[in-house]
Amino acid sequence: MVANEARLWSSLGTMNGSVKKAVIPAAGLGTRFLPATKTVPKEMLPIVDKPIILYNIEECIRAGIEDVILVAGRGKSAIEDFFDTSYEVEDVLLKAGKTELLERVQSVKDKINIISIRQKEAKGLGHAVYIAQPVIGDEPFAVLLGDEIMIETEECKSAIGDLVDLTQKNGKSTVAVMPVEKADVSKYGIIECTEKSENLWEVSAVVEKPSLESAPSQLALPGRYVFGPEILSALRDTKPGKNGEIQLTDAMTQVAKSEGLLATVLKSRRFDAGDKFGYLQANIEMGLENAEVKEKLQHYLKQLASTL
């Protein structure tokens, strides 16, 4: 084992082999959802009856994460409020005997700590992760993009939990990738890589939203990462890159070249809820799994399809 690997491994070891902190950057401007996001953070938009952010928090809980560092920005206080006690609502539900709904409203509060940090200016995803450093300290940690939803499957209980397991097993920072169509490479961070073993790639560089001609592969980053603390030193030295933002992908290239970086395709279902089409897809698919509306929705979709 090389020295750098041993260092990450030992930092994992000091935590009894687990990752307990996750950063959820949610301070972006959400321009793709304007005008809705003028006053409502996109992370609070509902998928059926749950805000997007709650899917991510539940994914963290299933992975055994204890502290979530929520990076919020201006106009995002509704996200912070969501994780507070709502005495008025809870009292009304209690008095009305709506215990099931009350449990749903209270569900996450006691299972995870939410620590909120403000990104005063949207200087990029890399900057959003970097400002969580005082809370992260010198530990490995997870990052979940606040507008990406990963739904559990039989093979994958928690997307971020699977990455945590792989990071511990291999002693290297590990990120999720997904194959994308050629037409879509310019929307994502794309990895340059060599295959190490089945469904495990050794990353040599990450390119932010490349043109098709310059894309090193068709493996894109969908927004789930587990890093050792060295990503924070890389971010400290990262200058503004594409679009003048501090890019997480630039710091990932540094880590790939020094400590090493692995990538894997996760077995969860994914929705890009920060994009209009992905958001609608998530609502339809999750609606078809919701006991209250699924039959009506099925019927409606069949009827609608016959008219298209």
SS3 call for 256 = helix
- In the set 131, 145, 190, 261, which binds ligand UTP (CB under 6 A)? 145
- In the set 159, 274, 279, 282, which binds ligand UTP (CB under 6 A)? 274
Nearest distance in Å: CB 169, ligand UTP: 27
- In the complex with ligand UTP, the residue whose CB is nearer, 74 or 296, is 74
In this chain, which stretch among 52-60, 91-99, 121-129, 189-197 interacts with ligand UTP, using CB under 6 A? 121-129
68 neighbors 113 (Cβ within 8 angstroms): yes
Q: What share of the chain is helix, strand, coil (3-state, %, to 5)?
A: 40, 25, 35
List of E strands, 104-232: 113-118, 141-144, 148-151, 173-179, 189-197, 200-208, 219-220, 224-227
- In the complex with ligand UTP, the residue whose CB is nearer, 71 or 234, is 71
Under DSSP, the state recorded for 303 is H
- In the complex with ligand UTP, the residue whose CB is nearer, 59 or 147, is 147
Nearest distance in Å: CB 24, ligand UTP: 8
- In the complex with ligand UTP, the residue whose CB is nearer, 32 or 50, is 32
* 123 counts as binding ligand UTP under rule CB under 6 A: yes
What number of CA atoms fall less than 13 Å from residue 227's CA on the CB side? 29
Binding to ligand UTP in span 69-88, by CB under 6 A: 71
Binding to ligand UTP in span 53-72, by CB under 6 A: 71
- In the set 8, 20, 68, 119, which binds ligand UTP (CB under 6 A)? 119
Which of 168, 181, 176, 146 lies closest to 71 in space, CA to CA?
Answer: 146
- Give CA separation, 106 vs 152, 176, 262, in Å: 21, 31, 37
User: Within 10 Å of residue 244's Cβ, how many Cβ atoms?
Assistant: 9
29 neighbors 123 (Cβ within 8 angstroms): no
Binding to ligand UTP in span 23-42, by CB under 6 A: 25-32
Interacting residue ranges for ligand UTP, rule: CB under 6 A: 25-32, 71, 119, 122-125, 127-128, 145-147, 274
